[in-house]
Chain A
Amino acid sequence: MSKPVQLFCWHFMAYPYLPADFDEQYETGWITVPNALWDREKSRGLLNEYIDQLAYADTLGFDGMVLNEHHQNIYGLMPSPNLIAAALTQKTSLGKIVVLANLLPLHGNPLRVAEEYAMLDNMSNGRIIAGFAPGGGQETFNYNTPAAIQREQFWEAVELIHQAWTREGPFTFEGKHYPLRYVNPWPQPIQQPYPQIWIPGSQSRETMRQIAKRGYCYFLSSRVHGGAIAKARQEFAKILQDAGSKYDPFRMGILMSAYVSDTDEQAHEESHEGVWYFLKNCLKGHLRNFNGRSLTSGPGIPNMELSDYRRLLEGSKPGRAMLGDADDWDALKKAQSIIVGSPDTVYRQIMDLIRETQVGNLLIQFHLGNMRDDLARKSMRLFATQVAPRLRDDSRVAFASHFAKVADVS
């Protein structure tokens, strides 16, 4: 009997009080979106409302809560996810706390990240999953980190943190970007040999190779349909094999959004405002091509090797539709990234995705855009009580056959 699919509740912590005509009036939700739009009075208590939703997920039996780091935008009001994680260590007691991720090149000294994760691991009694990421295009502009050396800095920072958790200190770290004479962090993490490490990637093989070599978990950060996820999983499985390791569904995670209500119709009705606020406002400047300027990746964020960039150009057309370009529910359904419906509908769509992709960690965003607290909680509750148990049961079976296949090969 295999371990069942792991179901995590991800909160993006969007700014929900934008004017109704935001999309017409403002060019982007990122970096240059005027912070005069921040309403101090309305926003009083907002971050606590969001933290409480995550604590509620813990009581509902989710396998964990997920946080991320973004800066200077309306998509996610969480420039320091470690602060939210610290609050969760005190408000929750069961699930993992997944920080996905600390953006290492944005932190002056990554030793600080090793220290903070170790603190969080102690404060949560060993429930931290430590995410590391280089940061996307927006963050190169936000913190002025040069894209051309972002990955080199990133992997050096990963190496530093890994050593800080596994080598006896004090030792000297002879880094190019982070040279340190004394590395000897106190406290050390509770989890042995160190907390699980997750690293996001958007189908870059080099990222997969590093993750495979180091024994970490791969999180596919692109919002793509099941076929593309399955393809990324196949590539990752091949790379793991080349590295002398084996794919299992828990070496990989994916991101999706869901809204569950009693019927399909009710689900669409209740989530309509939040979903379209998320797509049109939060994704403007990010995953939206036909309106605004996407800063997520492209020539202005030259973090790819020349040969990889050439391959990308050869295999793509300019101005393709992204998730935020969806204009109706049908288009959204095809994208397979935001799943809306009755418990039965959501179960079927997610189970199909699990079967197709064989991925074992599902990181699911429930609160979308300006969704009301009561609706987000209702959707989480219905998911936890009427969708999750079936997914767990059926995924055990689906994964068991997958493991058998792996066993046959070897």
Chain B
Amino acid sequence: MDTKKREIEVRGRKVALIEAGAGAPLVYLHGFADVHGVAGDLLAFHRGLAQGNKVIAPAHPGCNGSSEFHEGNRIEDFLFHYCEVFDALGLDRFALAGHCAGGWIAAEYAVRHPERVTRLVLIGASGLFVPGEHVGDIFINSQPDRGTSLASLRHMLFASDDAPEALRYYPDGRGELDDEMRRYGMLRFGSAIGFKPPYFYNRPLVERLYRARMPSLVVWGADDHMVPVAHGKAYAERLGNGSALTLIAGAGHAAHLEKPDEVLAQMKPLLGA
């Protein structure tokens, strides 16, 4: 499948995009272990989504070639950024899917502009405050142990620290320079929106989820070591249409990388492809 990379500009900032497929538009907002967050191009999962939809995957500010948004340091700033991005792309009504911090932004957008979001899919999404169930500290775990080991970061992002995808994108020592820079850009973006409070939540969001009444799906790796499954339950219970939580056995936080076919199989009926 052909993927098309291009750039648009909003408010003087460059936004890198990857597009693929044809059909009803589906905007995909990435997380850490994901396209733009570490990988330079779409992965099997995103290509699967593009079988039947036009997938549009913008890179967050500072990630994979997108300009940093220096003035932005609250989730609200980045929601306005995405309002501009969607307008610039001429997207009126579209399906919206997101993973991790991208899922958080997707949920925030959906409660503000439910009329524009036809479907909502959240995969291991952060964004909620769930008492006693804390999102893991990706920042401390991005610091190598004993100088070079990233085993604890891999464990946080995948079902196990020796999963092939984990070792491909988060090897001990030094990874590919471009992968390292994408990871850094994503951490810097994450730090701006998701460090204070610790980590990755906007306390009022859970009370606002009722506004997102579009058909939705909440998918979680059963062994998510970063965003506890309790967050998936909270999303599923509180979203306006009372979605069910779908757990993917044998997968961790990056369920869509570890078990792409299983996640796609859950999403396809919703997306109507």
Contact residues of A with B, CB < 8 Å?
137, 140-141, 144-149, 152, 289-295, 298-302, 305-306, 309-310, 313-314, 317-320
| CB-based contact B146/A300 at 8 Å | no
Interface residues of B in 166-205 (CB under 8 A from A): 173-174, 177, 180-181, 183-185, 187-189, 191-192, 195-198
Query: 23 A-B contacts, Cβ less than 8 Å apart?
Result: A140-B195, A141-B139, A145-B195, A146-B73, A146-B192, A147-B188, A147-B195, A148-B189, A148-B192, A289-B146, A294-B143, A299-B187, A300-B138, A300-B187, A301-B139, A301-B143, A302-B187, A306-B185, A306-B188, A309-B184, A318-B144, A319-B144, A319-B146
Question: A145-B196, A291-B146, A295-B140 are known contacts. Are A302 and B177 too (CB-CB below 8 A)?
Answer: no
| CB-based contact B143/A306 at 8 Å | no
Query: Cβ of B90 < 8 Å from any Cβ of A?
Result: no
Partner of A299, one of B173, B183, B198: B183
| CB-based contact A149/B147 at 8 Å | no
| CB-based contact A306/B181 at 8 Å | yes
| CB-based contact B180/A313 at 8 Å | yes
12 additional contacts (CB under 8 A) given A292-B145, A295-B140:
A146-B192, A146-B196, A147-B139, A148-B73, A289-B147, A293-B140, A293-B144, A298-B143, A299-B142, A300-B138, A301-B139, A302-B191
Question: A306-B184, A310-B181 are known contacts. Are A317 and B143 too (CB-CB below 8 A)?
Answer: no
Query: Cβ of B237 < 8 Å from any Cβ of A?
Result: no
By a CB distance below 8 angstroms, the chain B residues around A145 are 195-196
- Mask for B113-143, Cβ within 8 A of A = 1, else 0? 0000000000000000000000001111111
Interface residues of B in 68-84 (CB under 8 A from A): 68, 70, 73
Residue of B nearest to A325 (CB): B147
Closest chain A CB from B215 CB (angstroms): 35
| CB-based contact A318/B148 at 8 Å | yes
Query: Cβ of B232 < 8 Å from any Cβ of A?
Result: no
Partner of B197, one of A144, A149, A302, A309: A144
The tally of CB-CB contacts under 8 A between chains A and B is 99
By a CB distance below 8 angstroms, the chain A residues around B252 are none
By a CB distance below 8 angstroms, the chain A residues around B187 are 299-300, 302
Query: Cβ of B62 < 8 Å from any Cβ of A?
Result: yes
Report Cα–Cα, A7/B79, bound state, in Å: 53
Question: A147-B191, A306-B181 are known contacts. Are A298 and B142 too (CB-CB below 8 A)?
Answer: yes
Number of residues of chain B lying within 8 A (CB) of chain A: 33
Report Cα–Cα, A174/B173, bound state, in Å: 45
By a CB distance below 8 angstroms, the chain A residues around B191 are 146-149, 302
Partner of B192, one of A149, A294, A318: A149
By a CB distance below 8 angstroms, the chain B residues around A301 are 139, 143
| CB-based contact B147/A319 at 8 Å | yes
By a CB distance below 8 angstroms, the chain B residues around A293 are 140, 143-146
| CB-based contact A319/B148 at 8 Å | yes
| CB-based contact A144/B196 at 8 Å | yes
Partner of A313, one of B137, B181, B189: B181
Residue of A nearest to B180 (CB): A313
Which among A137, A290, A309, A317 has the greatest number of chain B C-beta atoms within 10 A? A309
Residue of A nearest to B141 (CB): A300
Residue of A nearest to B142 (CB): A300
Report Cα–Cα, A295/B180, bound state, in Å: 18
| CB-based contact A302/B140 at 8 Å | no
Closest chain B CB from A344 CB (angstroms): 37
Report Cα–Cα, A195/B80, bound state, in Å: 43
Closest chain B CB from A98 CB (angstroms): 30
Closest chain A CB from B248 CB (angstroms): 27
Report Cα–Cα, A141/B177, bound state, in Å: 26
- Mask for B146-169, Cβ within 8 A of A = 1, else 0? 111000000000000000000000
Closest chain B CB from A177 CB (angstroms): 9
Closest chain A CB from B140 CB (angstroms): 6
